[in-house]
Amino acid sequence: MAWNLDSDRPIFIQILERIRIDVISGKYQPGEKLPSVRELAAEAAVNPNTMQRAFAELERTGLVYAKRTSGRFITEDQEMIETVKSEIAKEKIRLFLDSMKELGYEKEQTLTLMRQSMEGEKA
Amino acid sequence: MLGKLLKQELKTQGKTVFVMYGVLAIATLLTIVSYFAGRFAGARIFSAIFVVVCAIYAMTLVVTVVANFISLCFHFYQSMYSAQGYLTHTLPMKSTQILHVKIVAAFAYMCLTGILSIASFVTIAIVVDGQSFASFFQVLVKAFCDTAQELGVSSVWFALFFLLLFFLGFLNALLLFFAGSSIGQLSHRSKGAFGIAATVGLYYASQIVSLIGFFIGSLIYAEKFGTVHNPAPWAMGAGSLLLIFWVAVYYMICRIIVQKHLNLE
Amino acid sequence: MSALLECRKLTKRYKTKEVLNQVNLTLESGRMIGLLGPNGSGKTTLIKMINGLLTPTEGELLFCGGKIGEQSKRHISYLPDQTYLNMNQKVRDVIAFFEDFYEDFEKERAYDMLKKLQISADDRLKTLSKGTKEKVQLVLVMSRRAKLYVLDEPIAGVDPAVRDYILKTIISNYEPEASVLIATHLIADIENVLDEVVLIQNGRVMQHLSVDEIRSQKGKSVDAYFREVFKC
């Protein structure tokens, strides 16, 4: 099944996000081998050049490393994975806070609303 | 590559062509069988059947030749200028090579049809009445040689001339239709109708031009040579040249159109 | 190194109409290029010229620096938008034919694809449904290791599942030395697969951009951008 990608944002960025989340969520285990560019591009139904660029960026940031002929592997560096996880979380929170601000809520109000809905969930 | 296309072409066309040859063969056999049935059974009815079978055979013979010709022309159009043309013209070959292969294959099958038709007819004639056919054939050959002598040409040349007429005639007819359909595909709308019109037009043009040419030629000949020389070999030569000329004209039409004016829709 | 495909002032004129007008275009290897334009914009005319089925009235069309002819046809694999095979043949026969004439044809790949599509090689083409015939034609085209694949409306007229399969096949076939030129008006389905797009209208190339440019600089999908450019 082709990945669900937005049509108005560059695909390259969306692929990076998706793979990062897959690593954090454990879909790709540390040290696991990534599918080849072509395979993953076919699965996602995206241009292989774009997939290649995403892989190159992942390598650059260290989330993925390449073993010369055997392909690309997820890093085993747990610390790095945690860093990426918290970076993504922080980004999501930033976006959330922005949208709350758009609705007209101040930071304190937002916190209150959050506590309420979390307690509601517990019950 | 050329050989491959020729093989493919002969194979594809062969399927239709050999079915027709099969029909002809069956018709020939039936005629022979009904003749013998008539001979040995003796009853009048069998002779009547034989006559009917002969009529059917004659029709089959004509149909085989005509149908073959039509099938060859149609296949040319289909593989060159209709949907299949996309396949034909994207093969890694020169367009002239493709044209040559098509012409050679069609000509080969047409000649084969001609030869087999004659063979079939002769076979029946020999079987039915070998003796009189042999003597009839002898009379024919003698008349042929006498005519040749009267005209002042050797019988060999005369025979060659007729052979040339026979085979070139096939080539001429095929190329006329090929050229007509090549012109036809230039049109945007009704390629078929335009093709037929072009074929008819070419035919008329060739006949008229040939007649004029012949007329002028004979006038010049009469002026220059009067009655001193024998006109027959000149006439034969002119006729052959004319046939070859038109074959060349039709070929050039096909060639130019295929190379520069392909209009596949 | 010469570009894969180069058009210089390419013009095609019929008696009253100019179907292609002074087209200048350069395509490089290793790209997936979309040729996008409304009906009658000249897409099919350009494609037919690339394949040697039409000759230009003016201008030049060069493939790897050479003219269109026997050599270019060796390395260009073309999928027309109609069926063009001899319907009386079996699938097996067509594959044998392609193997015979095209050096770069890979028979095993073709049979592999047919198996995945559940098409029997012993079926006669005329007994197949329209969609299946199109799949067969696609298999034939993609089984060649060509330098340029030219696909004219490969996904129009087929159901979404087949569409997915066709796109997957095109992607899996990708080589850095080859390019794929896809002419289509179904932009939304295909834009994730494209590197660049050529927008063509009334026989003129309006724009030649990368998809990333459109998405990041103009902030919209290629489909939306197309609608904007070709607004009626």
Task: Evaluate the CA torsion angle C34, C36, C39, C40 in order and state its sign.
Answer: negative
Phi, psi of B189 (to 5 degrees): -95, -95
B75 to chain C: closest CA residue? C86
Residue C224 C-alpha, separation from nearest chain B C-alpha, in angstroms: 31
Do C and B touch, 3+ Cβ pairs within 8 Å? The answer is yes
C76 to chain B: closest CA residue? B90
Pairing mode of beta strands C58-63, C5-13: antiparallel
Burial label for C28, CB within 10 Å (0-12, 13-18, 19+), is middle
Q: What is the CA radius of gyration of chain C?
A: 18
The residue count of chain B comes to 265
Confidence of residue C82 (pLDDT cuts 50, 70, 90): confident
Q: Which residues of B touch C71 (CB under 8 A)?
A: 92
Residue C226 C-alpha, separation from nearest chain B C-alpha, in angstroms: 27
C78/B263 touch (CB, cutoff 8 Å), yes or no: no
Q: Which of B12, B90, B93 sits opposite C51 (nearest CB)?
A: B90
Do C131 and C159 meet the contact criterion of CB atoms below 8 Å apart? yes
For chain C, list the contacting chains (3+ Cβ pairs, <8 Å). A, B
Phi, psi of C12 (to 5 degrees): -130, 120
Q: Which of B5, B90, B93 sits opposite C78 (nearest CB)?
A: B90
Closest of C77, C84, C7 to residue C42, by C-alpha: C7
Question: Of all residues in chain B, what percent carry a pLDDT higher than 90?
Answer: 45
If DSSP codes are grouped into helix, strand and coil, which group holds residue A74? strand
Q: Which residues of C touch B80 (CB under 8 A)?
A: none
Residue C193 C-alpha, separation from nearest chain A C-alpha, in angstroms: 4
Q: Which residues of C touch B263 (CB under 8 A)?
A: 54
**If you write DSSP's letter for every residue of C126-163 in order, what string do you get?**
GGS-HHHHHHHHHHHHHTB--SEEEEESSSTTS-HHHH
Q: Which of A11, A38, A39 sits opposite C192 (nearest CB)?
A: A11
Asked whether residue B196 carries a pLDDT value surpassing 70, the answer given is: yes
A5 to chain C: closest CA residue? C192
**pLDDT: which is higher, B237 or C138:** C138
Tracing tokens 């030869």 back to the chain, one arrives at B115
Q: For C32-37, what is the mean pLDDT?
A: 93
Do C206 and C197 meet the contact criterion of CB atoms below 8 Å apart? no
C2 — contact with chain B (CB < 8 Å)? no
Contacts of B156 (CB under 8 A, 6+ apart): none
Confidence of residue A1 (pLDDT cuts 50, 70, 90): low
C-alpha triplet B260, C72, B3: angle, nearest 5°: 80
A47/C193 touch (CB, cutoff 8 Å), yes or no: yes
What pLDDT does B227 receive?
A: 66
B15 to chain C: closest CA residue? C88
Tracing tokens 């049935």 back to the chain, one arrives at B37
Pick from B122-126, B226-230, C140-144: least confident: B226-230
Q: Which residues of C touch A10 (CB under 8 A)?
A: 212, 215-216
Helix (H) or strand (E) segment spanning residue A76: none
Q: For B30-59, what is the mean pLDDT?
A: 82
Distance between CA atoms of B133 and A15, rounded to whole angstroms? 89
- Residue B176 amino acid letter: L
A73 — contact with chain C (CB < 8 Å)? no
Distance between CA atoms of C105 and C141, rounded to whole angstroms? 9
Q: For A52-58, what is the mean pLDDT?
A: 91
Going by the DSSP 8-state scheme, the letter that residue C105 receives in this structure is B
- A29-53 exposure pattern, b = at least 16 Cβ within 10 A, e = fewer: eeeeebeebbebbbbbbbbbbbbbb
C224/A8 touch (CB, cutoff 8 Å), yes or no: yes
Task: Evaluate the CA torsion angle C115, C117, C118, C119 in order and state its sign.
Answer: negative
Residue B97 C-alpha, separation from nearest chain C C-alpha, in angstroms: 10
Do B21 and B65 meet the contact criterion of CB atoms below 8 Å apart? no
Distance between CA atoms of B187 and B206, rounded to whole angstroms? 22
Do C139 and C123 meet the contact criterion of CB atoms below 8 Å apart? no
**With DSSP H G I counted as helix, E B as strand and the rest as coil, what are the percentages for chain B, rounded to 5?**
90, 0, 10
Contacts of B65 (CB under 8 A, 6+ apart): B113, B114, B117
Start-to-end CA distance of chain C, whole Å, equals 41
A5/C192 touch (CB, cutoff 8 Å), yes or no: yes
Q: Which of A8, A9, A42 sits opposite C171 (nearest CB)?
A: A42
**pLDDT: which is higher, C173 or C124:** C124
Distance between CA atoms of C21 and B224, rounded to whole angstroms? 59
Distance between CA atoms of B29 and B120, rounded to whole angstroms? 9
Closest of B54, B52, B67 to residue B22, by C-alpha: B67
Confidence of residue C33 (pLDDT cuts 50, 70, 90): very high
Distance between CA atoms of B114 and B110, rounded to whole angstroms? 6
Going by the DSSP 8-state scheme, the letter that residue A35 receives in this structure is P
- Residue C12 half-sphere exposure toward CB, CA atoms < 13 A: 25
What pLDDT does B222 receive?
A: 79
Helices (H) and strands (E) in chain C, counts: 9, 10
For A47, C170, C202, C207, the CA distances from C197, given in Å and listed in that order, are 13, 16, 17, 8
Q: For C134-156, what is the mean pLDDT?
A: 92
For A14-25, write each residue's pLDDT tens digit.
Answer: 999 899 888 888
C171/A46 touch (CB, cutoff 8 Å), yes or no: yes
Confidence of residue A123 (pLDDT cuts 50, 70, 90): low
Closest of A63, A61, A71 to residue A21, by C-alpha: A63
Identify the top-confidence range among A67-76, B38-47, C69-78, C129-138.
Answer: C69-78
C196 to chain A: closest CA residue? A47
Q: Which of B1, B89, B93 sits opposite C53 (nearest CB)?
A: B89
**Mean pLDDT of all residues in chain A?**
87
C167 to chain A: closest CA residue? A45
C211 to chain A: closest CA residue? A10
Residue A35 C-alpha, separation from nearest chain C C-alpha, in angstroms: 13
What pLDDT does B2 receive?
A: 84
For C167-225, write each residue's pLDDT tens digit.
Answer: 888 898 888 889 999 999 888 888 889 999 999 999 999 989 998 888 888 888 888 88
What pLDDT does B79 receive?
A: 92
Q: For A90-105, what is the mean pLDDT?
A: 90
For A24-41, write each residue's pLDDT tens digit.
Answer: 888 888 888 889 888 899
- Number of Cβ within 10 Å of residue A5's Cβ equals 17
Helices (H) and strands (E) in chain B, counts: 7, 0
C53/B264 touch (CB, cutoff 8 Å), yes or no: yes
